[in-house]
Amino acid sequence: MASLTVRQLDDTLKRRLRLRAAHNGRSVEDEVRTILRSAAADEESFAGAAARDDAARAKRETLPAATTRVLLIIGGGIAAYKSLDLIRRLQDRGAHVRCILTGAAQNFVTPLAAGALCGERAYTDLFDQASEFDVGHIRLARDTDLVVVAPATADLIAKMVGGHAGDLAAAVLLATDRPILIAPAMNPRMWAAKATRRNLAQLAADGVHVVGPNAGEMAERGEAGTGRMSEPLEIAAAAAALIHSGGVLAGRRVLVTSGPTHEPLDPVRMLANRSSGKQGHAIAAAAAAAGADVVLVSGPVNLPDPPGVGVVRVETAQEMLTAVEKALPVDAAVFAAAVADWRPQRTSQRKIKKHGPPPTIELVENPDILSTVAHRKSGRPGLVIGFAAETDHVVANAEAKLKKKGCDWILANDVSPATGIMGGDSNTIHLVSADGVESWPPQSKDEVARALIARIAAALADTKK
């Protein structure tokens, strides 16, 4: 080790050392020893920090291939407190979670709490030099398997629709090419507002997945209705369904219609049917669980939205056709909705009064959604599947329908009241295709859904994604 004497130092340095030693009450040699000791300790701690950083980076980079990365964006709503629990619930499922908090979110939860739960810093600013150098907003958007927005505020939803990129959350949402799952949470009136309805329909058409919101008491005293954020366990389940990368329909986009349509006669009366939507919703849920990107166009039903599915709500057959065409292109389309064949020719804007003889209601034909999509010259789904609800000659009618509508498969079921299928939980299906008729045993609607999804996956297996 080289030896150095104070005498060898230049005069200015010697003078400064003497002053410093006198100030600290030490000899010049002791002062030099103290300085060297402290420099060595700094070096040690610097080396230690660097080693720890290297270990953390190595750990990040050597995460098992099966580990799922979830980027959780926390918006500025009261439900943000539940998002801290969501971090844990996602981790319970083996996910590596990273967090972004919007500016508004930081009024409800702190980046410190979110970061502590994630085990790494939470990101907050688009123009934060450190995080831009460390990770960068584009890498935040890409180094993940799924982006979850919870709570998704009305504001954040509107920004997504508008393609805004003015803050870190919005920029990442615009830059990502990964699936996005949003868990909306807001006051029921904000949720019901026309702008929010429009925005949700657009996001569903853009392929964004939605879980919730639920109905119940709101955080604001005296407020109740639909708008509560889904529970963390529900959101984690929806996220898991989406990142089920081994799913037989991973990389496929599937459209499902479900429920009845309501055709208004006046503001209080309508033509409707008894469809519950149970079969269509079960198919959408099974497709999502199989890894598909699912759009569900649903008529008015009394069912919760299936997890991990983008839902577009409609009332009439005409609205359903518009929503279906907006959702194309898809790999497979399953038309399980019971669409009204006719609608009243005229819809009165005022309630029709009961005086004079009963009115005669003239009907006009509704668009045939199945046939319209099956006969498309361009953008026809690879597989077009219809349902036939029949009370007589079930299979014969289904065979005729297959030809007339130009679809690939018809799932026929007997909806005579005695079967209990309409509104019930089980179903007996005859799958009619160009290859013939296959009669399935009676089973639950969930089982029918899973069987159908397996058939769809097999049929699409050789087609290009």
Ligand X SMILES: Cc1cc2nc3c(=O)[nH]c(=O)nc-3n(C[C@H](O)[C@H](O)[C@H](O)COP(=O)(O)O)c2cc1C
Taking residue 144's Cβ as centre, other Cβ atoms within 10 Å add up to: 23
- Closest distance of CB 124 from ligand X, Å: 11
Closest approach, Cβ 225 to ligand X, in A, equals 13
Q: How many residues does the chain have?
A: 465
Taking CB under 6 A as the criterion, which residues in 178-207 touch ligand X?
Answer: 185-186, 190
Per-residue binder mask for ligand X (CB under 6 A), 38-57, x = binder: --------------------
Residue 233: both structure tokens together: 């366990």
| 155 near ligand X, rule: CB under 6 A | yes
Q: Which residues of 288-322 are buried (b: 16+ CB within 10 A; e: fewer)?
A: bbbbbbbbbbbbbbeeebbbbbbbbbbbbbbbbbb
Using the minimum distance from each CB to ligand X, give the nearer residue, 72 or 452.
72
Stretch that binds ligand X, among 154-162, 251-259, 394-402, 407-415 (CB under 6 A): 154-162
* Shortest CB 302 distance to ligand X, Å: 25
CB of 233 to ligand X, least distance (A): 19
Strands 363-365 and 342-344, by their bridges, are antiparallel
HSE at residue 166, side-chain half, CA atoms within 13 A, is 8
Q: Give 213 or 344: the residue with its C-beta nearer to ligand X.
A: 213
Among 75, 115, 232, 344, binds ligand X (CB under 6 A): 75
Q: List binders of ligand X among 104-143 (CB under 6 A).
A: 104-105
Q: Report, in Å, the least distance between residue 76 CB and ligand X.
A: 3
**Residue 167 Cβ, how far from ligand X at the closest point, in Å?**
7
- Applying CB under 6 A, does 77 fall inside the site for ligand X? yes
**CB closer to ligand X, 200 vs 270:** 200
Tell me which stretch binds ligand X (CB under 6 A): 84-92, 132-140, 147-155, 417-425. Answer: 147-155
The question of whether 273 is a catalytic residue gets the answer yes
Q: Give buried/exposed letters for 150-172 (b at 16+ CB in 10 A, else e).
A: bbbbbbbbebbbeebbebbbbbb
Q: In this structure, are residues 47 and 58 in contact, taking their beta carbons and an 8 Å threshold?
A: no
Q: How far apart are CA 232 and CA 271, in angstroms?
A: 39
Q: Which of 107, 214, 273, 397 is catalytic?
A: 273
Residues numbered 219 to 238 that lie near ligand X (CB under 6 A) are: none
Token pair for 58 = 């190595």
Report which of 377, 93, 115 is spatially closest to residue 240, judged by C-alpha positions: 93
DSSP state of 6: G
Tell me which stretch binds ligand X (CB under 6 A): 32-40, 71-79, 313-321, 360-368. 71-79
3-state secondary structure at position 83: helix
Stretch that binds ligand X, among 31-39, 149-157, 300-308, 413-421 (CB under 6 A): 149-157
- Tell me the C-alpha distance between 349 and 135, whole Å: 57
Q: Which helix (H) or strand (E) is 1 found in, with range? A: none
Q: Give the interface size with ligand X as a residue count (CB under 6 A).
A: 16
The answer to whether the CB of 263 falls within 8 A of the CB of 271 is: yes
Stretch that binds ligand X, among 21-29, 70-78, 198-206, 392-400 (CB under 6 A): 70-78
Give me the 80-109 binding string for ligand X, x by CB under 6 A, dash otherwise.
----------------------x-xx----
Q: Report if residue 154 touches ligand X, rule: CB under 6 A.
A: yes
**CB-wise, 68 or 102, nearer to ligand X?**
102
Q: Please report where in the chains the tokens 């508008």 appear, as a residue.
A: 162
Considering the complex, state which of residue 144 and residue 153 has its C-beta at the smaller distance from ligand X. 153
Report if residue 291 touches ligand X, rule: CB under 6 A: no
User: What residues between 351 and 370 interact with ligand X by CB under 6 A?
Assistant: none
> Which residue number, 128 or 368, has a Cβ lying nearer to ligand X?
128
Spatial neighbors of 141 by CB under 8 A, at least 6 apart, are 71, 147, 171, 172, 173, 175, 176, 177, 178
CB of 229 to ligand X, least distance (A): 8
N-to-C CA span, the chain: 67
Q: Is 156 in the site for ligand X (CB under 6 A)?
A: yes
**DSSP label at residue 190:** H
**Looking at beta carbons, which residue is closest to ligand X?**
77
Q: Which is nearer to ligand X, 113 or 190 (CB)?
A: 190
- Residue span binding ligand X (CB under 6 A) among the ranges 4-12, 31-39, 74-82, 134-142: 74-82
Encode burial over 438-463: b for 16+ CB neighbours within 10 A, e otherwise: eebeeeebbbbbbbbbebbbebbeee
CB atoms within 10 A of CB 218: 19
Scanning 290-407, the segments in alpha helix (DSSP H) are 317-327, 369-374, 394-405
Q: Is 96 helix (H, G, I), strand (E, B) or coil?
A: strand
CA angle, corner 288, sides to 287 and 291, nearest 5?
A: 95
Which spans of this chain sit near ligand X (rule: CB under 6 A)? 75-79, 102, 104-105, 151, 153-156, 185-186, 190
Q: Which residues are identified as catalytic?
A: 273
